[in-house]
Amino acid sequence: MKTWFRRLSIQNRLFVVFGTIILICTLVVGFNLLNTVQVGAQNEVLDSLFRKVRYYYKAQNLLQQMDLAEKSFVAQGYDSYVDDFDNYSTQMEVFIRQALIEAESPTEKNTLVALQETLQTHTNNFRAIVPAVYEEDWDAVEQQQGALYEEVYDLNEQIDAILEESYTVFDDTDTMQTITQFGAILVSGVALIFFVILALVAALVLNSQVNRPVQQLTEAITAIETGQFDPAALQKLTGRQEEIGQLSREVVDMAAAIQQREQALQQQADEIRAKIHQREENRLLQQEQL
């Protein structure tokens, strides 16, 4: 992996680093968007459950009012309590029909069907007890009243079963929402750590692959100008295969060419000086001979 990375050009190395950062950023954003959608869907489920629980609590309140009306009728025998019972039982019947339409799980539908059947039985049994109350046949009333109490208890149990199922779904949804939010926080935290690490890698790449070599090349050019250049100073850079390595080799070649040209010029200058010196000596000899 390290050798493969070194074979890349500087631009490609930076592209790999920053491309990885962009890829991770894209994945994190996509994951968080997905979590946002999931949390939104879970919130809708929770809102639906809240509405359902509220409706069933209203149904329990209707059942209590219906039970109170029938007990008041048995105790006092007023026709108004019969009307109240019929009103509350009708509301319960309407509620059950609406709940059957909106029911999502088979368990809830089966419970609602059983609730509807129990309500019809209870309504019929109450209507059967009405004549006995009017006739003050208290033995018959007492016998039938026990059945009414059991039916009211069954109705409450059936509503509680639906509420219990709703609470189970609510707990599961709430747990999933907590896990989803925790996952988003965890992924964001891990991504942040990766961002910091990759940013440090990018800084190191820039420093080791660009800044430091450029500084060494600048020092080498200064040394060439002063005639103190040592090719060994760029030995590590000349072994690289990317742009910096190519530039370093060109600098070394340029320094060698300059050195050769200076040596050639120095040699030519020495030869010219030697010829001038020889001519001067010859002139002096000629003058002495004269």
Q: State pLDDT tens for residues 280-290.
A: 777 777 776 65
228 in a structural domain: no
pLDDT > 90 fraction of the chain, expressed in percent and rounded: 0
On whether residue 78 sits in a domain, the answer given is yes
Q: What distance in Å separates the CA atoms of residue 115 and residue 124, rounded to the nearest whole number?
A: 14
Task: Give the pLDDT confidence of 28-87 residue by residue, as tens digits.
Answer: 777 777 777 777 777 777 777 777 778 788 888 888 888 888 888 888 888 888 899 889
pLDDT for res 11: 67
| Helix runs in the chain, H state only | 2-7, 10-76, 79-102, 106-134, 138-206, 212-226, 235-238, 243-289
Question: Do 137 and 47 fall within a single domain?
Answer: yes
Domain presence at residue 110: yes
Asked which of 176, 200, 224 is the last residue of a domain, the reply is: 200
Residue 211 lies in a domain: no
On whether residue 206 sits in a domain, the answer given is no
Q: How many Cα neighbours within 13 Å face the side chain of 85?
A: 26
Looking at the domain assignment, is residue 129 inside a domain? yes
In a domain, 1, yes or no: no
Structure confidence by residue, pLDDT tens digits, 212-271:
777 877 887 787 777 777 777 777 777 777 777 787 788 778 877 877 887 788 888 888
Q: Which residue has the tokens 């000086």?
A: 273
pLDDT (0 to 100) of residue 126 = 85
Please indicate, yes or no, whether residues 123 and 240 belong to a single structural domain of this protein.
Answer: no
Is residue 165 located within the same domain as residue 269? no
Of 56, 37, 66, 43, which Cα lies nearest the Cα of 102?
A: 56
Residue where a domain stops, chosen among 153, 178, 200? 200
- Residue 216 included in any domain: no
Using an 8 Å Cβ cutoff, are 101 and 120 in contact?
Answer: no
Question: Does one domain contain both 54 and 188?
Answer: yes
104 phi, psi to nearest 5 deg: -105, -40
Q: What share of the chain has pLDDT > 70, as a percent?
A: 93
Give yes or no: residues 182 and 253 share one domain: no
Q: Domains in the chain: how many in total?
A: 2
Cα angle 179, 181, 186; round to 5 = 90
Q: Any idea how long the chain is?
A: 290
- Residue 132's pLDDT is 80
CATH number of the domain at 125, please: 1.20.120.1730
195 and 269 in a single domain? The answer is no
167, 54: one domain? yes
**Residue 103 has what DSSP assignment?**
-
Domain range for 171 is 11-200
Q: Are 205 and 17 in contact (CB under 8 A)?
A: yes
Structure tokens at 150: 């059991």
Q: Are residues 153 and 259 in the same domain?
A: no
* Same structural domain, 63 and 145: yes
Question: Exposed (0-12), middle (13-18) or buried (19+): which is 53, by Cβ within 10 Å?
Answer: middle
In a shared domain, residues 153 and 284: no
Residues 183 and 258 in one domain: no
Claim to verify: residue 124 and residue 194 sit in the same structural domain: yes
Q: Which residue has the higher pLDDT, 172 or 120?
A: 120
